[in-house]
Amino acid sequence: MEQRLANTWRMTVNEKKFIESALLSGLRVDGRNVYDYRKLSINFGKEDGSAEVHLGQTRVMGFVTSQLVQPYRDRPNEGSLSIFTEFSPMADPSFEPGRPGEFAVELGRVIDRGLRESRAVDTESLCILAGKLVWAIRIDIHILDNGGNLVDAANVAALAALLTFRRPECSLGGENGQEVIVHPPEAREPLPLIIHHLPIAVTFAFFSDESTLVVDPTHQEEAVMAGRMTATLNTNGDICAIQKAGGEGVPQSVIMHCLRIAATKAADITVKIRDTVEAYNTERALRKIKRHSAPVALDVSGTGPNVRKNQVKSQDQRKVSGSVGSQVDKLKPSNERNDSDQSNDIEGILTRGVLTRIS
């Protein structure tokens, strides 16, 4: 409510009338067409599972983290997904620090409905031990700059972060297979989440004149609008969620019209997200290869080393980061063919992780 009041006092009557009358002739203040989105760009952070989205002037960051917890009693073999929003006061003077306000809660719940109720993220694959331990995925959304249409930007940020997130691999061990061992990312490659489809949120703003509606309202258009509707759809033609929380009444035909427009917009945004995530994944894979190329630089005299080099190279190509210990184990049989002291040197050097030329 404070946000609404802040907008009303910041906007002058002249500005309001200007925006409204421009919309009557189908013109928007920033020059876009009525159904056009602003420029959308997605950047990823250094860690897996962090994304920053720019939608025009709106900036939102999404972070995904995971934790092992006990499952809910009524769903013992499913993991959980929770969304937390942080409306920082640096984004908009009307946001207050501390407990999330109404709009923060609404945004969190709209994104939550789109992701969880539509089963976009597969929660059954997050189960490790039924009834005892499951992965709880937590999505944190931080609003950095409120340029209007936070829902869409936050949704894209959440999806991008989920697509690039990797959770540690764990295996069952112990005496009766009841102990869970979580492997660090250096030991075993972390796994991506299983995401069935991408629910994309498209927001429409309605104005007091019946026939006027715009897609992706800016901050100023939001201050003038009489009602808003967010439709979350995926590219399979399903509607995942709709949120029209009161505001100006619109005829049913207009709602169906909006949903059809939203379907085309969702397709565009999905393509964009997938392309950027694809680029990120390739770049990430390249980074991993560079890390493992160091063992190939081993140069040791004698017939044994050639066999060793090949073994190390083939490990590389499989791109499985085995621990240094297993590398040494694989090299042990060929070591026995050489002098014992030379092989000991090599073993010692490998276990220390330092690779130098051995004359």
Partner 1 sequence: MEYVSPEGLRIDGRRPMEMRKLQAEIGVVAKADGSAVFEMGNTKVIAAVYGPREVQNRSQQLSDQALVRCEYSMANFSTGDRMRKPKGDRRSTEISLVIRQTMEACILTQLMPRSQIDIYVQVLQADGGTRSACINAATLALADAGIPMRDFVTSCSAGYLNSTPLLDLNYVEDSAGGPDVTVGILPKLDKVTLLQMDAKLPLDIFENVMQLAVEGCKAIADYIREVLSENTKQLEYRRGL
- Contacting residues toward partner 1, per CB under 8 A: 1, 5, 8, 102-103, 105-106, 108-109, 113, 117-119, 227, 229, 233-234, 237-252, 255-256, 259-260, 263
DSSP class per residue in 274-291: HHHHHHHHHHHHHHHHHH
Of 144 and 259, which has the nearer Cβ to partner 1?
Answer: 259
Of 38 and 113, which has the nearer Cβ to partner 1?
Answer: 113
Q: How far is CA 248 from CA 35, 213, 217, in A?
A: 19, 11, 16
**Token digits of residue 115:** 């992701």
**Closest CB 272 distance from partner 1, rounded Å:** 22
- C-alpha span between 113 and 125 (Å, rounded): 20
**Closest CB 246 distance from partner 1, rounded Å:** 3
Burial class (CB in 10 A: 0-12, 13-18, 19+), 197: middle
Of 262 and 273, which has the nearer Cβ to partner 1?
Answer: 262
**Closest CB 116 distance from partner 1, rounded Å:** 9
DSSP class per residue in 84-98: EEEE-TTT-TT--SS
Of 91 and 229, which has the nearer Cβ to partner 1?
Answer: 229
**Closest CB 319 distance from partner 1, rounded Å:** 36
CA nearest neighbour of 141 among 13, 52, 259, 265? 52
Q: Are 157 and 200 in contact (CB under 8 A)?
A: no
Q: Are 198 and 224 in contact (CB under 8 A)?
A: no
**Closest CB 76 distance from partner 1, rounded Å:** 16
Of 256 and 286, which has the nearer Cβ to partner 1?
Answer: 256
**Closest CB 249 distance from partner 1, rounded Å:** 3
- C-alpha span between 292 and 324 (Å, rounded): 11
Name residue 1's amino acid. M
Of 146 and 276, which has the nearer Cβ to partner 1?
Answer: 146
